[in-house]
Structure formats: C-alpha cells, structure tokens
C-alpha cells in the first residue's frame, strides 16, 4: 500500500516542483481542506506557484477532511473517526488549470465559498487565542521563563492518563452535544489528538508572549496566530495518520513546537 504524507504550506512553498512530483511517485500527497482554502487565498503569484507544483491529471492529491469534521463524527457517534485517509474525496477531480496562472480570478460564487471558509478559520483563531490566554489558569504552576515548568507541563500533555483526566473535566458549550465520555476516548481519537496538539501550541504561544496575550492583536500578530492554527490542524491530522506521539522540533521563537513523525 502506498504511504501518504500530509503536506503543509511551508513545505509546499519551500520545495521545488520536481521535489513535490518526485515525492508523489512514492507517496500519496494528502492535502487538508484547510490547506486547500489557505492556498486559494494566497497572493495570486504565490497561489499559482503552489498549484503548479502538484502533479497533473485526475486526483493529484488526496483531499482529506478538516480535523473538526472528524471530531464532529466522534461527538455524534461516540466512536473514533479513524485515520484521515478514511475521509478523503474519492470521486474523480482535477484542479482547475487556471489556478496555475497569477491572472486567475474567482467567480462571485467561488469567492463567496472561499470567504465563508476563511470566516470559519477566523473563528477558529479567536477560539485558539482564548485557549492560549487562559493557559496560566489551566496550569497554575507554570512560571513563564522557567524551562523545568514548561517541560513538566509538556510531559503532562503528552501522557495519556493525565491528558484524559484533563479531557474529562471539560464541558461542551451550552446548546451543543456533550463530549464522548473519557472512558471511551483514546489516542486514536481525533478529539484526543486535537486537544493534545492545541494545548501544546497554546503553551508555546503563552510563553512566546511571556504570559500576557493582548485581547486585541495587530493584523500581523493575528495572521501569525492563523499560521499556528493551520499548522496545528495539519500536524493533528499527521499524528492521526501515523498513530504516533508528537515529537519536539526546534522553532524559530526560541521555544519548541511539536510535529509528528512522518513515514
């Protein structure tokens, strides 16, 4: 069975077309719907360069569902949603060849769809910022600047028993369906991995801002948060794909972010 690799925007942007196409010879290239819409909203020249790197022909990539879709399935069924590959587009499709041209423009209907998706992303960013802002309340023993404290919290987040205990204390927002009982949830669940990865990213952001995250962010800072949210979504899918623990990777902000091992 051909192995798959979940692409993120940074890798796609930084790689030459020949690298992406050679990778497609040995792997199925998986693209989340979140990344797909992110590419559509790039500046036209950048969008054209990215789409030109994909192999030509039918179903050049596996379009897989957003992790939120997998979580909804789990909340509705109280069963694990399974690997991302089980939720890919199976009908034949091709990318519009015009997407490789910087002169391509969306129709009114296409633009409305893209804007709707970006509004959902904006709401996800707002929720993530809220989670990051209360990191100090979630982990009251965290002293900003103390690396031992940070490592201990990372250990708790990465330990199933501790994370499930935390998960069991969570309540669904008013009017929404209750979360599956913690006794049913395991590392195979999207809801588990989403919580784990989001907490790790929120911790990184909290420390990046030294414990003081402004209620109102500048456009540049908000865009950085968008990148964090999209990265977390991609890495969450990758962890589910590999059924492996997130591992540390040095980041440019002086802390550590977490990425999945890749086949």
For residue 255, give every residue at least 6 positions away whose Cβ sits within 8 Å of its Cβ, in sequence order, or none: 150, 204, 207, 208
Distance between CA atoms of residues 179 and 195, nearest Å: 12
pLDDT at residue number 1: 58
Angle at 231 between CA 192 and CA 78, to 5 degrees: 20
* Stretches in the chain below the pLDDT threshold 70: 1, 242-263
- Residue-averaged pLDDT of the chain: 87
SS3 track for 141-176:
CCCCCCHHHHHHHHHHHHCHHHHHHHHHCCCCCCCC
What b/e string do you get for 169-183 counting C-beta neighbours within 10 Å, with b at 16 or more?
eeeeeeeeeebbebe
Question: Which of 34, 74, 65 lies closest to 191 in space, CA to CA?
Answer: 74
Domain regions of the chain by residue span:
3-113, 116-258
Cα–Cα distance measured from residue 185 to residue 49, given in angstroms and rounded to the nearest whole number: 41
pLDDT value, residue 239? 86
| Cβ atoms within 10 Å, residue 203 | 24
Distance CA 70, CA 33 (A): 12
Residues 185, 238: Cα–Cα separation, whole Å: 19
How crowded is the C-beta side of 84, counted as CA atoms within 13 Å? 31
pLDDT of the residue at 206: 93
DSSP state of 213: -
């Amino acid at each position: 069975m051909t192995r798959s690799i979940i692409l993120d925007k940074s890798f796609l942007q930084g790689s030459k077309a020949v690298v992406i196409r050679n990778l497609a010879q040995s792997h199925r290239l998986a693209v989340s719907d979140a990344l797909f819409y992110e590419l559509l909203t790039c500046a036209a020249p950048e969008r054209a360069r990215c789409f030109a790197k994909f192999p030509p022909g039918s179903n050049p990539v596996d379009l897989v569902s957003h992790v939120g879709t997998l979580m909804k399935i789990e909340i509705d069924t109280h069963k694990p949603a399974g690997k991302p590959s089980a939720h890919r587009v199976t009908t034949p499709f091709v990318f519009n060849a015009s997407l490789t041209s910087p002169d391509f423009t969306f129709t009114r209907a296409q633009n409305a769809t893209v804007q709707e998706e970006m509004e959902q992303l904006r709401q996800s960013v707002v929720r993530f910022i809220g989670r990051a802002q209360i990191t100090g309340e979630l982990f009251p023993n965290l002293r900003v600047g103390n690396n031992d404290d940070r490592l201990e919290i990372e250990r708790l987040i990465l330990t199933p028993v501790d994370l499930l205990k935390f998960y069991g204390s969570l309540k669904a927002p008013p009017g929404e369906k209750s979360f599956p009982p913690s006794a049913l949830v395991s590392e195979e669940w999207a809801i588990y991995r989403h919580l784990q990865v989001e907490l790790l990213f929120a911790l990184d952001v909290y420390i990046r801002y030294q414990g003081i995250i402004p209620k109102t962010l500048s456009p540049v800072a908000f865009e950085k948060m968008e990148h964090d949210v999209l990265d977390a979504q991609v890495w969450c899918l990758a962890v589910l794909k590999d059924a492996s623990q997130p591992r540390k990777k040095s980041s440019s902000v002086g802390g550590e972010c977490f990425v999945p091992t890749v086949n």
